[in-house]
Amino acid sequence: MRVIAGTRRSMPLKTIPGMSTRPTQDRTKETLFNVLQNDVPGCVFLDLFSGSGAIGIEALSRGAAKAYLVENNREAAACIKANLEFTRFTEDAVLMETDALTALKRLEGKAEFDIVFMDPPYNHDYEKEVLEYLETSGLITDDTIIVIEASNDTKFDYVNELGYSINKVKKYKNNQHVFLNKN
């Protein structure tokens, strides 16, 4: 796995062994950032369920002003820290070693995000819990882009009831990216 583009292009990134995290494949990551390319420069980026930190680091490499990376697995958080040090992004990133909802509560009133990316464990409805929290949160605005990486089986038929609209869906072989905004 590597940084695809930007100031840290081609730098290799570490991942933890095993299947407790599912690193986003380079080709999928490239497609994601092709969609977001005009929105990333200067943005404040939130990467929930960060795994190796590759998505947040990619955002920083492509010009994000700040990235917040949230991961509650200790081994994965140590991997993120090593990747941030290796890519020299420790000053531009905030690593929060906690679960997503606790992180959101701690960030309330301290940050407003332009892009929120989440890649939660599949088929546990964690993305729905995050969307329910963000619905009334000051962390996002009507202009915030929310991207969820989920299995192709994941249904998002509830998002309109929560005040979101789906703007785009990119399907891949084993997963999908769902792009949302607040209504």
pLDDT of 13: 95
- Block residue for tokens 């960060």: 50
Assess contact for 163 and 135: CB atoms under 8 A: yes
Question: In the chain, which ranges are E strands?
Answer: 44-48, 66-70, 93-96, 115-118, 145-151, 164-171, 175-182
- 15 within a domain of the structure (yes/no): no
pTM: 0.95
* Distance (Å, whole) CA 137 – CA 115: 14
Does residue 19 carry a pLDDT above 80? no
Identify which of 29, 27, 18, 19 has the alpha carbon closest to the alpha carbon of residue 53: 29
The answer to whether residue 44 sits within a structural domain is yes
On whether residue 142 sits in a domain, the answer given is yes
Q: What is the spatial distance between Cα 67 and Cα 53, in angstroms, rounded to a whole number?
A: 10
Does 11 reside within a domain?
A: no
Query: What range does the domain containing 112 cover?
Result: 26-182
Judged against a pLDDT cut of 80, whether residue 20 lies above it is answered with no
Q: Count the helix, strand and coil residues of the chain and give each as a percent rounded to the nearest 5.
A: 25, 25, 50
User: pLDDT tens digits, residue range 164-183?
Assistant: 999 999 999 989 999 999 98
* Number of domains present in the structure of the chain: 1
Three-state DSSP class for residue 63: coil
CATH number at residue 133: 3.40.50.150
Q: How far apart are CA 144 and CA 83, in angstroms?
A: 26
Arithmetic mean of pLDDT, 15-31: 78
Confidence of residue 25 (pLDDT cuts 50, 70, 90): confident
